[in-house]
Amino acid sequence: MKKLEEYVRSIPDFPEEGIVFRDVTSVLQDKDSLKMSIDQMQENLNGLDFDVIVGPESRGFIFGVPIAYNLNKAFIPVRKKGKLPCETVEMEYALEYGTATIEMHKDSIKPGQKVVIIDDLIATGGTIEAITKLIEQLGGEVVKIVFLMELEGLKGREKLKGYDVASIIKYAGK
């Protein structure tokens, strides 16, 4: 069987020259790599005491929900502003050009809950940093953050200092 990183399609010069785009859809389209990715991400939670899994729209849903199901945990979605129907808390964060806002339901995290965040990729770390702030604002404690892929050259881990961060596949560049 191939190694998981062999399933990731790398597209040079997308979305702009000098960037190598790491395409997760090639992982999702193959039954072996999809199972392998979920299994390897889940292995990072062995023996960890936690209550809920949080995942950002949309690829955090793809990987977070099956892990939550396998471990009999609740899954809490983080959505783009305006997508959740009940009372929310929100956090704005910086993008390369501009800002974005994410939201969670105000009642989604209970004070004292131990939270795991699952997502497909860490690049600059801005989205996950905002999610950690929302979780803590609601009284939760982030006990682990797991990514399928990490672009080490963008130094996203620096925004997550103090958190237990794991990534399955690491790419040295951007």
Q: Which residues are catalytic?
A: 59, 96
**Helix spans in 15-174 (H):** 25-28, 31-43, 59-70, 126-137
Q: 142 Cβ partners below 8 Å, 6+ apart? A: 115, 116, 117, 132, 135, 136, 163
Q: Which two tokens stand for residue 126?
A: 């801005």
DSSP 101-134: EEEEETTSS-TT-EEEEEEEEESS-HHHHHHHHH
| CA 52 to chain CA centroid, nearest Å | 14
C-alpha–C-alpha distance, residues 62 and 149, integer Å: 14
C-alpha–C-alpha distance, residues 148 and 99, integer Å: 24
